[in-house]
Structure 1
Amino acid sequence: MADAFNFELVSPERLLLSEKVTEVVIPATLGEMTVLANHAPTMTTIKPGVVTVKSAAGQEAKYVVFGGFADILPTGCTVLAESALPLSDVTRETLQARIEAARSDAGAATDHEHKTKLEEYLSQLTELNGAILPA
C-alpha cells in the first residue's frame, strides 16, 4: 500500500478537500504532475484543468481548477486554486460563461503582454471544455 500524505484543495470561496491521500495529479502549467508521499519540495503554478485525488481509502475524486498554485512538501500538498469545483458540479454553461468572459477580456486588453496571457488562458479553458465535456 502506498504511503499517505496530507492534501488540501482550497479556493477563495471554501476549503474543498482536506484529507489523507496516496496520490494527487495536478495540471501544472508545464504539464501534469503526479504527487506521492515524500515528494521533493516544489512550488508550481497550475492551469485550468482537473485535479485527480486518490484517498487513502482508495476512492478517487476529481475537481476542476481554474488556475492557481500548488505547494508540495514531502509531508503534504496544498493546491491554492483561483477557483475550483467538484467535477460533478461543472456544466457546459459554467465553462461557456468562463470562456466568453475570457474572450471578452482578451478582446478588450490593450497591453500586449496581458492580452497574450488572456489568450493563453482562453486556450486552456477551451481545451478543458473539450476534455471534460465532449460534444
Structure 2
Amino acid sequence: MADKLHFSLVSPAKELFSGEVDHVIAPGTEGEFGVLVNHAPFMTTLKNGVVRVLDGDTTKMRLFVRGGFADITPAGLTILAEEAVDLGSTDVAKVTEDLEAAKAKLLEQGKDGPHVSALQAQVDYLSDLKAALVN
C-alpha cells in the first residue's frame, strides 16, 4: 500500500474530516494548491472555496471553506477553517433562501448602515457556496 497523507479539517463548530487520503486540493489566497504525502512544510491562508479530498483519481469529498489557514507539516495537512460545510450534505435551496435573506438585510441597511461590511461578507460567502454547489 502506498503512503497516505493524514488530513484533518476543523472549524470552530466541529471537526469535519480526519483521515488518510491520497491528495488534497485547497483554495489558497495565492492560488489553488495540492498536497500529497511527504509534501514540503509550509503554512498559508485560505480564501472562500472548495477543498477537494481525493483517493486515487476519485474525489472522495468536497468541503467548502470560508477562509482560514492550511498547515502542512511532516505529520500531514491540517486546515483550520473559519467556517466549513460538506457540500455533499448541503441543500442548495436552503443556501439560496439564506442568500436572498442576507441580500434583503443588506438592502435594508443602506450604504451607511452599521452592519454593512458583515452583511456583505455573508452575501459573498453564500454566493460562493451556492456557486460551488451548482458546479
Q: Could you state the TM-score of these two structures normalised by the residue count of structure 1?
A: 0.72
Deviations along 1:56-86, whole A, 9 cap, x unmatched?
8x77111121221111113300011111121
The whole-number CA distance in structure 2 between the counterparts of 1:72 and 1:52 is 16
SS at match of 1:132: helix
Larger-Rg structure: 2
Contact 1:25–1:34, Cα closer than 8 Å, also in 2: yes
The residue number in structure 2 matching 1:24 is 24
How many residues align structurally?
130
The answer for unaligned runs of 5 or more in structure 1 is none
Contact 2:102–2:123, Cα closer than 8 Å, also in 1: no
The residue number in structure 2 matching 1:95 is 95
Q: CA deviation at 1:130?
A: 2.3
Deviations along 1:34-64, whole A, 9 cap, x unmatched?
11111111111112211111248x7711112
The answer for unaligned runs of 5 or more in structure 2 is none
The residue number in structure 2 matching 1:132 is 133
- Pairing 1:68-83 to 2, within 5 Å after superposition: 68-83=68-83
- Pairing 1:24-43 to 2, within 5 Å after superposition: 24-43=24-43
The whole-number CA distance in structure 2 between the counterparts of 1:77 and 1:109 is 41
Superposed CA RMSD = 3.3
Contact 1:99–1:125, Cα closer than 8 Å, also in 2: no
Q: Could you state the TM-score of these two structures normalised by the residue count of structure 2?
A: 0.72
In the alignment, does 2:31 pair up with 1:52? no
Percent identity over the alignment is 39
